[in-house]
């Protein structure tokens, strides 16, 4: 569907193929077995544009540091933030640690969340994560002085401060973006769609990134 989501991204029903579980290996395997090509001459493919939404954010906010990350394939903002969140050397950041930092910190922060909400969600998933070297993340954090949630929350607060300093242009422009919307009640996406009406803060930060990023997939 191209007309339902307020951010102008797509949505899918019957079944919802955009939200099949993948982080639980058992569920992922079982559910994916239910989707079968209709014959030997057909295959199912999945398109995943690497770092598309972060590149969309860099394009929208025009933050030089974001643009540098988005332009250099050797750089990886999600890996670097995972390293900070979990107090890990970059070489010991596992795929799962990167994924939970990406979806638990980077995008929530870009979309208006703050450290208390971010820390709570990330802490709830600690038991699912290991370091690249195979150590349980909870054990690693305990060794680094984060034996309880309060210590981890303080860590995430510091990471948020560093994140905002890492991308200073975005940090300033997001407040201007919000104030401008409050004055006029509408805004335009990079792809030409005009959004008007009541938007929460998080929606206002999300929409100009998520919508155009999906439109790029349509064009491709």
pLDDT in tens, the chain (220 residues): 888 887 888 888 887 877 777 767 788 888 888 888 999 999 988 777 778 889 999 999 999 999 999 999 899 999 999 999 999 999 999 999 999 999 999 999 999 999 999 999 999 999 999 999 999 999 999 999 999 999 999 999 999 999 999 999 999 999 999 999 999 999 999 999 899 999 999 999 999 999 998 888 888 7
Is residue 18 within 8 Å of residue 10, measured between CB atoms?
yes
What is the pLDDT, as a whole number, of residue 46? 76
| pLDDT score of 92 | 98
Provide the pLDDT for residue 217: 83
Instruction: Tell me the pTM.
Output: 0.86
Measured between alpha carbons, how far is residue 125 from residues 34, 65, 80, 99, 184 in Å?
27, 29, 19, 11, 40
Q: Hey, which residues does 110 pair with through a beta bridge?
A: none
Q: What count of residues does the chain have?
A: 220
What pLDDT does residue 62 have?
Answer: 96
pLDDT at 23: 67
pLDDT at 84: 98
**3-class secondary structure for 23-80?**
CCHHHHHHHHCCCCCCCCCCCCCCCCCCCHHHHHHHHHHCCHHHHHHHHCCCCCHHHH
pLDDT at 5: 83
């Amino acid at each position: 569907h191209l007309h339902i989501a307020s951010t102008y991204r797509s949505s899918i029903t019957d079944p919802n193929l955009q939200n099949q579980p993948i982080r639980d290996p058992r569920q992922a395997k079982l559910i994916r077995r239910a989707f079968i090509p209709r014959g030997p001459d057909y295959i199912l493919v999945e398109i995943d544009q690497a770092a598309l939404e972060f590149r969309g954010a860099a394009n929208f906010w025009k933050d030089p540091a974001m643009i540098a990350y988005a332009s250099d394939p050797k750089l990886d903002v999600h890996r670097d933030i995972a390293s900070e969140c979990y107090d890990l050397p970059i070489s010991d950041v596992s795929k799962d640690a990167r994924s939970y930092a990406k979806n638990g910190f980077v995008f929530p922060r870009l979309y208006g969340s703050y450290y208390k909400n971010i820390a709570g969600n990330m802490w709830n998933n600690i038991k699912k994560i290991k370091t690249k070297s195979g150590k349980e993340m909870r054990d690693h954090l305990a060794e680094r002085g984060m034996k309880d949630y309060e210590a981890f929350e303080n860590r995430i607060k510091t990471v948020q401060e560093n994140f905002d300093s890492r991308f200073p242009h975005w940090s300033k422009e997001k407040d201007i973006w919000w104030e401008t919307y409050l004055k006029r009640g509408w805004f335009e996406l990079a792809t030409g769609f005009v959004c008007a009406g009541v938007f929460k803060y998080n929606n206002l930060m999300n929409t100009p990134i998520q919508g155009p990023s999906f439109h790029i997939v349509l064009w491709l």
